[in-house]
Amino acid sequence: MTPRIFVYVGHKNGIADDCAVELLAAAKTISPITRPTAVVAGCGPEFDRVCESLRSSYAEVWKLAHDNLAYPNAELIRKALLKVLPSNNIVLVPHDHFGIDLAPGLSIKLNAAFVSDVVQLEGVEGSALNAVRQEFGGQVSTHVRCDLASGAVVTVRPGAFKPADNMLVSGSVIDKSGELGTLTSARRYLQTLVAEAGDVDITKHNVLISIGRGIQDKDNVGIAQELADVLGAAVSCSRPVVDAKWLEKSRQVGSSGKTVKPKVYLACGISGAFQHLAGIKGNPFIVAINKNPKAPIFQVADVGIVDDILEFLPELTNKIREMQSVTAK
Amino acid sequence: MEILVCARRVPDTSENEITLNSTTNDIEREELVYSVNESDNYAVEEALQIVDRTGGSVTVVTVGSEEDEEILRREMAMGASHGILLSDPAFTGSDGRGIASILKAFVAQGHYDLILTGVQADDGAAQVGGMLAAMLDYPFASLVNSIEVLDGKTLKVSREIEGGNKEISEIDLPCVLSIQTGINEPRYVGMRGIRAVASLTIPTYGASDLGVDASVVGKAGARVQRVDYYVPALGKTAEMLSGSREENIDRLVELVAAKGGLQ
C-alpha cells in the first residue's frame, strides 16, 4: 500500500511556486490514485491567498500560519512541520536552496529515509519506493530503492516533472496553525541582499557565448570575448568560472545566477549541470562544444561538437571575421 | 574556535569521463583521478581563515579507507592541525544517514564550536551536513557563501539563494554549515607542504571505538540503496558534427546564421 503523500509548497508574493504542480505530478507518478496533501507555511493576507489558490489542485491544503513564519526560514519550518506531520508518510520537497536546507534534517527528525534530488519516480514495490537520481554531475544515472518502513522524505529536482493538465479538484483548506505553539530557532533571518547588477546585462542579449571550466584560465576569457565581439554577443558563464573569480557573478547563468532567454546559446567547455541548465529559458538554439563526449550538455544541445574550445573558438572567430570582411567589400 | 571539517575523496569529474563497469553496479574506477571534493576544500580554507582571525584549530575528518588518507594529508598541508580517518569494514555501503551517524558518534567524543561540510559531493545528494545537525540538535545552514564571526557565540552567515541573491542570518554556535564553492580562494598546496606531512600517522577509529549503532551503518543499515548505474538515453539528441574542425566551423556558422545569430 502506498503511504499518504505530503507535498511542501513554497510561495512568494502571494503566489505558490511552480513546484506546487510539479510535485503534484511527481506524487501521481508514485501512485496515480493518490490524493496528496499540500502543506504551506507563512502568515498574512497574501499567504491566505496562496492557500486558497492551492484548493484547485490539492484535495487538502494544510495551512500553517504563524507570525514567525513570515520569512521561509527552513529551521523554523522544520519545527512547524514536525508538530503537524504524522509519521510513516512520504514527504515531497523541491530540491532547491530551501529544500536543501530543510529536508535532510527533516528526515532525521521524522526517522524517515531520505532520497535527494530525484529526477524520476517509478512507484512503490512492496515496502520500497523506486526512484532515479543522477550522480557525477549528471554523467550517470542510478536506480535507487528506498525503504518505506518508516516513511521517506524525498527532494524532487525542479523542472523534472511536467505538470499534468486537467487535475482540477475543489479541495479544502485545513487550518493546522493551532498545533504550532511557540516557534523559535537558533538561526534568525536578518535580510536578503539583492544581487548587484554587473557591467553587462546578459539577460538582454540574443546571442550568448557561455564559458565553463573548460576555459581553464582567466587569461583565456579573452578568446570568448573576441568571438562575442565579432557576433555582437555577450560572454556569460557557468558557476566554476565565477568561483575561480575569472568573471563577475552577474555573468553567471543558472539557478543561483541569472535566468537568460537568448536565441542562440553557445555552451563552451560547460559540462551542463542541472543548476546551470535551469537558468536557460525560452528554448534557444543550443550549441555545445566540449572535449568530453560524455558531458551531459550534449543531452540538451541542438548541435554538439567534441573539441577543445581553446583551439576551436579562435578559429571560429577568424572564420566569422573573414566572412564579415567579404560582406563589407 | 575549534572547527571540524567533514571531507570526502571523490573522482574529479573535471578530469574524468565517467563510464560504467561491466556489471553496472558501479562506475569504472580503475583509471580515475581522485581528489578532495571541491566544496569540502573550500570548507577547509574557510575554517583556516576563521582560525587565523579568532585562534583555535581545524580538524579534518573523513569516513573511508586507507586510500582516503591522502586527502587528509592534503588538507593538513593546507594548514589543518589534525586529520582523522573513521574506518571500519562495517561502514562499507552506508547511506547518507549512515555516514552522518558515524560522524555524529565522532563529534560526540570531542568538542567543536563549528562543523563544516561541503555543499555536496559526487553523488550530488547534499544531505550529510543537514542530517548531522539534526542528530546533534545543532542549528544548520546550507549553501553558505560567507561567514562573519560576531562573538564567541554567534556567526553572521550568508546563504546563496535564487538569482544570485544572498540570505543573511545569525546563527548560534555550535552549529553545522554546508559551504558553497566560491566562498574564498583556497590556498595552493605545494609538494613541500605535502612532503612535510607525508609520514605523520593518521589516527583511525572504527565502529567500536566510536560506539556506532551497527544497525544504521553499512549496506544492511542503509535505507536507500543503489540498484544499478546506467547512462540515460539521450532525450533530445544533439546533431553531433563529426567532420574536421574546418568543416565543423563551416556547418556551425550556417546553422547559427539560420537561427539569427549572425548580424
The per-residue pLDDT for range A178-211, each reduced to its tens digit, is 999 999 999 999 999 999 888 899 999 999 999 9
- Measured between CB atoms, does A57 come within 8 Å of chain B? no
- Over residues A117-129, the mean pLDDT reads 95
Query: Could A243 and B27 be called an inter-chain contact, meaning their C-beta atoms sit closer than 8 Å?
Result: no
Q: What is the CA radius of gyration of chain B?
A: 22
Question: By CA distance, what is B178's nearest residue in A?
Answer: A101
Residue A26 carries which DSSP code?
H
Query: Could A143 and B228 be called an inter-chain contact, meaning their C-beta atoms sit closer than 8 Å?
Result: yes
CB A235 within 8 A of CB A266: no
pLDDT for residue B262:
81
Class of domain B2-221: alpha beta
CA-CA distance, B218 to B94, in Å (whole number)? Answer: 4
Query: Could B225 and A240 be called an inter-chain contact, meaning their C-beta atoms sit closer than 8 Å?
Result: no
- Over residues B146-155, the mean pLDDT reads 95
CA dihedral B221, B224, B227, B229 (to 10 degrees): -120
- Over residues B60-67, the mean pLDDT reads 97
Query: Taking the CB of residue A150, how many other CB atoms lie within 10 A of it?
Result: 15
- Which residues are within 8 A (CB) of B51 and not within 5 positions of it... i.e. 6 or more apart? B1, B3, B57, B58
Domain A5-179 fold: Rossmann fold (3.40.50)
pLDDT for residue B44:
98
- Over residues B19-32, the mean pLDDT reads 89
- Measured between CB atoms, does A100 come within 8 Å of chain B? yes
pLDDT at residue A329 above 70? no
CA-CA distance, A290 to B72, in Å (whole number)? Answer: 32
Least CB–CB distance from B225: residue in A144, A188, A193 = A144
- Measured between CB atoms, does A125 come within 8 Å of chain B? no
Give the model's confidence band at A166: pLDDT under 50 very low, under 70 low, under 90 confident, else very high.
low
Average pLDDT of chain A is 95
Assigned C-alpha cell, A317 = 572567430
CATH architecture of the region A202-328: 3-Layer(aba) Sandwich (3.40)
3-state secondary structure of B71: helix
Each residue's pLDDT tens digit, B175-230? 999 999 999 999 999 889 999 999 999 999 999 999 999 899 999 999 999 999 99
Query: Could B124 and A113 be called an inter-chain contact, meaning their C-beta atoms sit closer than 8 Å?
Result: no
Query: Could A192 and B230 be called an inter-chain contact, meaning their C-beta atoms sit closer than 8 Å?
Result: no
pLDDT for residue B34:
94
- Measured between CB atoms, does A162 come within 8 Å of chain B? no
Query: Could B122 and A298 be called an inter-chain contact, meaning their C-beta atoms sit closer than 8 Å?
Result: no
pLDDT for residue A196:
85
pLDDT for residue A197:
84
pLDDT for residue B112:
98
Count of residues making up chain B:
263
Q: What are the extents of the domains in chain A?
A: 5-179, 202-328
A 289-308 → B contacts, CB under 8 A:
292-294, 298-307
pLDDT for residue B168:
98
Q: A106: which chain B residues are within 8 Å (Cβ-Cβ)?
A: 134
- Measured between CB atoms, does B8 come within 8 Å of chain A? no
pLDDT at residue A14 above 70? yes
Assigned C-alpha cell, A200 = 553587462
Higher pLDDT, B262 or B4: B4
pLDDT for residue B43:
98
pLDDT at residue B14 above 80? no
CA dihedral A197, A199, A205, A207 (to 10 degrees): -130
Q: Which residue is associated with the grid cell 539557478?
A: A255
CA-CA distance, A12 to B143, in Å (whole number)? Answer: 20
Q: What are the extents of the domains in chain B?
A: 2-221
Average pLDDT of chain B is 94
Q: How many CB pairs under 8 A join A and B?
A: 261
pLDDT at residue A276 above 90? yes
pLDDT at residue B233 above 80? no
- Over residues A268-277, the mean pLDDT reads 94
Q: B41: which chain A residues are within 8 Å (Cβ-Cβ)?
A: none
Burial of B257 (0-12, 13-18, 19+ CB in 10 A): middle
Query: Could B163 and A195 be called an inter-chain contact, meaning their C-beta atoms sit closer than 8 Å?
Result: yes
With a cut of 0.90, is the ipTM above it?
yes
pLDDT at residue B4 above 70? yes
Query: Could A137 and B261 be called an inter-chain contact, meaning their C-beta atoms sit closer than 8 Å?
Result: no
Least CB–CB distance from B130: residue in A105, A141, A307 = A105
Least CB–CB distance from B249: residue in A240, A292, A316 = A316
Q: A130: which chain B residues are within 8 Å (Cβ-Cβ)?
A: 227
Distance from CA of A161 to the nearest CA of B (A): 14
Give the model's confidence band at A328: pLDDT under 50 very low, under 70 low, under 90 confident, else very high.
confident
pLDDT for residue B234:
62
Distance from CA of A311 to the nearest CA of B (A): 9
- Measured between CB atoms, does A188 come within 8 Å of chain B? yes
Query: Could A294 and B19 be called an inter-chain contact, meaning their C-beta atoms sit closer than 8 Å?
Result: yes
Query: Could A240 and B181 be called an inter-chain contact, meaning their C-beta atoms sit closer than 8 Å?
Result: yes
